[in-house]
């Protein structure tokens, strides 16, 4: 499994490179790669470098398709995509992070490109903040106690007192904004989606370069995305 994870991050590695990076001896590295190759999960190119096959993607998509929310949310995501012509993301709460379950890409050349299945810190994303603000108090306290607010973008909130104030603001207005907190030049607007128990388990966001996601655009997006997420939440109950 560690070999698969390594190849997903650094595609195209030799037996020796895998051994060196994971602390195996060369014989063990060769044995693991040979097994994965026999099972169809990796291939070896003409330069004796191993890379993942599409079998991994097929497996991931089978898992992703079990999330009913992807089916339920699709038409709402399309509604947002038509309204703003920007990237729309569906996120799911996973411990201290947000899992990207689905997206609709913007047709613009300059756009956000988050891979499906990737995890992002909750504290510096609009998806994450829109969920965190609605967590039960004990869960939020446990999260704040354990999380380290490490800078990712130029405007990442790194002080917990200030972050608490940010979550109060999100709760009051019903939506969250990532203002270059995850990445320079990127802004996102998100709102929570509540499951049948009333738990804010998911969120939708609209993401765009800051040059297009102006204050005026944010004002338009937040009104529509809150309405869309409220309607989707009602459908899930």
Q: Does pLDDT of 11 surpass 80?
A: no
The overall average pLDDT reported for the chain is 91
pTM of the model: 0.73
Cα 236 from Cα 215, distance rounded (Å): 31
More confident residue, 10 or 127: 127
Q: Does pLDDT of 111 surpass 80?
A: no
> Which helix (H) or strand (E) segment is 6 a member of?
helix 2-9
How remote is the C-alpha of 34 from its chain's centroid? 32
For 3, residues 6+ apart whose C-beta sits below 8 A from its C-beta are 18, 22, 29, 32, 33, 36
Q: What is the mean pLDDT of residues 96-124?
A: 87
Q: What is the mean pLDDT of residues 177-193?
A: 96
> According to CATH, where is 1.10.10.10 located in the chain?
2-57
Q: What is the mean pLDDT of residues 137-157?
A: 94
**Apex CA 215: angle with CA 211 and CA 217, to 5°?**
75
Give the pLDDT of residue 79. Answer: 97
Separation in Å, CA 95 to CA 87, 122, 140: 24, 9, 11
Give the pLDDT of residue 54. Answer: 82
Q: What is the pLDDT of residues 76-103, one digit of tens each?
A: 999 999 999 999 999 999 878 999 999 9
Separation in Å, CA 137 to CA 123, 132, 148, 204, 224: 16, 10, 18, 22, 28
Q: How confident is the model at residue 67 (pLDDT cuts 50, 70, 90)?
A: low
Q: How confident is the model at residue 112 (pLDDT cuts 50, 70, 90)?
A: confident
Give the pLDDT of residue 32. Answer: 94
> Which helix (H) or strand (E) segment is 63 a member of?
helix 54-64
* Domain with residues 2-57, CATH architecture: Orthogonal Bundle (1.10)
Q: Does pLDDT of 60 surpass 80?
A: no
> According to CATH, where is 3.30.450.40 located in the chain?
67-236
Domain 67-236 falls under CATH 3.30.310.50:
no
């Amino acid at each position: 499994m560690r070999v698969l994870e390594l190849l997903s991050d650094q595609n195209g590695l030799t037996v020796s490179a895998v051994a060196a990076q994971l602390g195996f001896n060369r014989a063990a590295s060769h044995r693991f790669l040979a097994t994965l190759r026999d099972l169809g999960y990796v291939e070896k190119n003409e330069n004796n470098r191993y890379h993942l096959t599409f079998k991994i993607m097929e497996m991931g998509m089978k898992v992703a398709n079990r999330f009913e929310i992807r089916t339920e949310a699709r038409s709402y995501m399309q509604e947002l995509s038509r309204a703003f012509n920007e990237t729309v993301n569906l996120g799911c709460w996973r411990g201290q992070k947000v899992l990207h379950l689905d997206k609709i890409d913007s047709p613009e050349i300059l756009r956000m490109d988050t891979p499906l299945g990737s995890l992002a810190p909750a504290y510096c994303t609009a998806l994450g903040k829109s969920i965190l603000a609605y967590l039960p108090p004990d869960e939020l306290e446990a999260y704040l106690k354990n999380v380290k607010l490490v800078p990712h973008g130029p405007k990442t909130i790194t002080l917990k007192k200030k972050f608490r104030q940010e979550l109060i603001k999100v709760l009051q207005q019903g939506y969250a904004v990532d203002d270059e907190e995850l990445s320079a030049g990127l802004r996102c607007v998100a709102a929570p989606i509540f499951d049948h128990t009333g738990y804010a388990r998911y969120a939708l966001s609209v993401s765009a370069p800051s040059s297009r996601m102006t204050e005026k655009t944010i004002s338009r997006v937040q009104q529509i995305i809150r309405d869309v997420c409220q309607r989707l939440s009602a459908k899930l109950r």
